[in-house]
Structure 1
């Protein structure tokens, strides 16, 4: 009988990696080639401008968008696309996402519906810097590692 393969994605706004569990007592295994790094945010080249009112002589400052927010969204989209490709290739059956609250929200919104249906649990904490044995203890309520 084929084991149920669960992937655990540990992510923050700068890096993400996928771990694999092949059933109770098998632990987590770091998957080679399933580590992703975010592109650095691009700094705007000029200052925010001034907008002129069409209704009169007033002017107001135009707010500059935050490049880090855009970089974080792009990174979440990149990770989601990689997960979608892996799911299409039947590399995992279930998915657990472990990410800080902000990245968790970005991941939720960027996952396609097929992968989202395979999510069996989420932990809204950034555990990406912790050793695997500590991560395993946090996963105890979702899966038996």
Structure 2
């Protein structure tokens, strides 16, 4: 009997992730280490991260004070940090031989964040990158959606 390759399937958005494993046609998917991965900092709104008022600074030229705006949206920064965490987990597992092939499904912007920081080991096993949000898709609908998205 031929060996079926093991797949890891990462379903993620900027705030939640599900990590599943199984073989194609994905009818036997089950969670890896519980299956649900939450970001270390789970803030939903910028006001949960920022203060109500921007910081203030003195101008070096004339001594006047002015507001300082943050360089990046704090929620966006948390999403990028979450993408880095997920990419590190995937790469570490790939180097350890925990899976043969990888599928990542995420909204386009977050998928780009993950692909940018994905290590060489995980990138070598990447079988499909799907620019759709399947995080909240019911488990019963997932096999059909995955098979349609990757074209099998």
TM-score range, shorter chain: 0.7 to 0.9
1:130 corresponds in structure 2 to: 137
CA distance in 1, matches of 2:20, 2:42: 24
Distance 1:32 1:6 in 2: 11
**Residues 103 and 91 (structure 1 numbering): CA distance in 2 closer, same or farther, change over 3 Å?**
same
> Is the contact between residue 19 and residue 29 of structure 1 (CA under 8 Å) also seen in structure 2?
yes
Which stretch shows the higher mean deviation, 61-70 or 8-17? 61-70
* Alpha carbons 2:91, 2:120 under 8 Å: kept: no
- Which consecutive unaligned segments of at least 5 residues does structure 1 have? none
Unaligned runs of 5+ in 2: none
1:73-112 counterparts in 2 under 5 A?
A: 73-112=80-119
- Distance in 2, matches of 1:32 and 1:111, equals 19
- The TM-score normalised by the length of structure 2 is 0.78
Q: Give the alignment's TM-score, normalised by structure 1.
A: 0.81
Counterparts of 2:36 and 2:98 in 1: how far apart (Å)?
15
In the TM superposition, residue 19 of structure 1 has moved relative to its aligned partner by: 1.6
Report the alpha carbon displacement of residue 55 of structure 1 after superposing the two structures with TM: 6.0
Cα RMSD of the aligned pairs, angstroms, is 2.4
Q: Corresponding residue for 1:19? A: 20
How do 1:48-59 residues align onto structure 2 when only pairs under 5 Å count? Answer: 48-50=54-56
**How many Å separate the matches in 1 of 2:24 and 2:142?**
16
2:29 maps to 1:29: yes
The secondary structure found in structure 2 opposite 1:109 is helix
Equivalent of residue 69 in structure 2, options 63, 79, 86: 63
